[in-house]
Chain A
Amino acid sequence: MNIKEILYKTLIAGDSYKTLLKGLGVTVQISLLSVILGTLLGMVICAMRRSRFRVIRTVAAGYIAVIRGSPVLLLLMLMYYVVFAGSKVSATIVAVAAFSIHMSAYTAACFYSAINATDAMQAEAARTLGFSKWQAFILITLPQAAKIAKGTYQSTIVTLIQWTSVVGYVTITDLTRVINNIGSRTMEPLFMILVGLLLYLGMAYICYGAFALAERLAILRKGRRRGA
Chain B
Amino acid sequence: MSMIRVEKLSKSFGSLQVLKEVDLTVEKGERIVIIGGSGCGKSVFLRCMDLLETPDEGTVFIGDNELTSPKADLNRIRRKVGMVYQGFHLFSNMNVLDNITLAPIKLLGLPRAEAEKKAETLLEMVGLLSKKYMMPDVLSGGQKQRIAIVRCLAMEPDIMLFDEPTSALDPTMVGEVLATLRLLAKRGMTMVIVTHEMAFAREIATRILYFDEQGIYEEGTPQEIFDAPKKKKTRDFIHKMKYFFWQIDDRNFDLMQLQGNIRSFAGKYGMDEKRTNRLQLCTEELIYEMLEQHGQPDAGVDMQIQISFDERDRCAVIGLRSRGVQYNPFEADTEDEIHLGVTILKNTAKRLDYRFDGVNNYLEIEL
Contacts and interface: CB of A to CB of B under 8 A. Distances in A.
Contacts of B91: 122, 125-126, 139-140
B63 to A, nearest CB: 15
A66 to B, nearest CB: 33
The interface centre, meaning the residue of B90, B91, B152 with most chain A CB atoms within 10 A of its CB, is B91
B188 to A, nearest CB: 21
A127 B155 CA distance: 13
Interface string A144-185: 100100000000000000000000000000000000000000
The 8 closest A-B pairs by CB, nearest first: A130-B79, A128-B83, A129-B103, A125-B89, A121-B89, A143-B93, A130-B78, A122-B89
A132 B74 CA distance: 9
Contact of B85 (A121, A130, A147): A121
B52 A124 contact: yes
Interface in B151-177: 151-152, 155
Interface string B62-96: 00000000000001101101110101011111010
A122 B151 CA distance: 12
A195 B85 CA distance: 59
B105 to A, nearest CB: 11
B106 A139 contact: yes
B106 A135 contact: yes
A131 B103 contact: yes
A130 B107 contact: yes
Contacts of A226: 95, 133
Given A121-B85, A140-B91, 7 more contacts: A122-B91, A126-B91, A129-B107, A130-B75, A130-B107, A140-B93, A144-B92
A215 interface: no
Interface of A: 119, 121-122, 124-132, 135, 139-140, 143-144, 147, 226
A124 to B, nearest CB: 6
B87 A121 contact: yes
Contacts, number: 63
Contacts of A125: 83, 85, 89-91, 148, 151
B98 to A, nearest CB: 9
A128 B52 contact: yes
Interface string B191-224: 0000000000000000000000000000000000
A131 B78 CA distance: 9
Contacts of B151: 125, 129
Contacts of A139: 91, 102, 106
Contacts of B155: 129-130
Interface size classification for chain B: 20 to 34
Given A135-B106, A139-B106, A129 B79 contact: yes
B50 interface: yes
A131 B95 contact: no
Given A128-B52, A131-B106, A147 B75 contact: no
Nearest to A125: B89
Contacts of B90: 122, 125
Nearest to B151: A129
Interface in B118-156: 133, 148, 151-152, 155
Contacts of B107: 129-131
B133 A131 contact: no
Contacts of A121: 85, 87, 89
B92 A119 contact: yes
Contact of A129 (B85, B92, B152): B152
B50 to A, nearest CB: 6
A139 B82 CA distance: 19
Contacts of B103: 126, 129-131
Contacts of A144: 92-93
Contacts of A140: 91, 93
A124 B89 contact: yes
Nearest to A144: B93
A122 B85 CA distance: 10
A126 B102 CA distance: 9
9 contacts: A119-B89, A121-B89, A125-B90, A125-B148, A127-B75, A128-B52, A128-B82, A130-B75, A226-B95
